[in-house]
Structure formats: structure tokens, C-alpha cells
Structure 1
């Protein structure tokens, strides 16, 4: 077994860390909107949850394919994350449709 020492480019490290913190903030905001929208049966919060799903999925794709070094663990965790985001989006879309049909 051989070991490889890979240096991480400094400019890419800053970008990856900033994008990771940005994604964490978006995920927190998205989860908050999803919970609040579900509890209040609010179309606005549920719609915001769906809109925030788009940049989160794009960032997840970045970390899955285009970050400097993509390890096998990154592929596994990123794939699970994208599947859960897809499931969350489908559920949020169904919930939004139910909320809008109840009040009309």
C-alpha cells in the first residue's frame, strides 16, 4: 500500500471552506422554513423552502463533482445528501400543493 501526499491549493481551500459554510447556512435556513411552514401551514415558508433547495442542490453537486479532491466518502455522502434533498423537495412540493388547495 502506497500513500500519496496531495497538497491542497490555497485559493481553492478558501473557496471550498467558504462554500461549505454558505451551504450550512442555507441548509439551516431551509430546515427552519420547512419546519415553520409545516407547523403554520404557510405557503410562504414552504415556497421559500423549495426555492432554497435549488442553491443547496447546486452546492451539493459542486462538492460531489467539482471540488479539488473528491474522495469515495464524498461521493457516498454527497449522493445520500442529494437523494434526501430530492425526497424533501418532493414532499415540500406536495405539501405546498395541499396548502394552496385547502385555502382556495
Structure 2
């Protein structure tokens, strides 16, 4: 239950961040220096968030199947849960580092 709430918060936060990034894109000139890198970074983040969602959905599906008696492979369920938790923890650490880096950059001004 807590894992699902954390995942929902992470998904909502990622969606908001992507919307903000899209809104800011309109302000940036067509050929701004580093625009290609920014687009590449945005694509990378989108892909990784989608991967995170896929891993957690697979884990949730295996959990439901195990609870319903559709599968008896406890090992597979536990591995999927561990992968899901590791993916969420990694995403949260990356988010925290990005926030810390942004804060440091804004304090330089």
C-alpha cells in the first residue's frame, strides 16, 4: 500500500516536472545553445520514468496473481518486488540529487 502511494506521488511529480519542462520549452529560442542536449536529457528522463512505471506495474500484477492463486512462483514475485523497490529508490535518489544540484546552481546567482 505504501509502495503504491509512493509510486503515485513519484508518477505525479514526474508528470508535473515534464509539463513544466514542456512549458519552458516554448520560451527557449529555436536553436539555443545546448538545446539538443536538453532534448536528449528530457527523452532520457521520460524513458526512465516509463521503465519505472512498467517495472512497478509488472510487480503489482505478479502480486495480484499470487494473491489470487494464479501463480505459485514465490521467487518470481519476490524478485519482481525487489526490482520494483530498487527502481523506486533509485528514482528518488536521482530526484533528490537533481533538486540539490538545482538548489546549488540557484544559490550561485
TM-score of the two chains, using structure 1 as the length reference = 0.47
TM-score of the two chains, using structure 2 as the length reference = 0.46
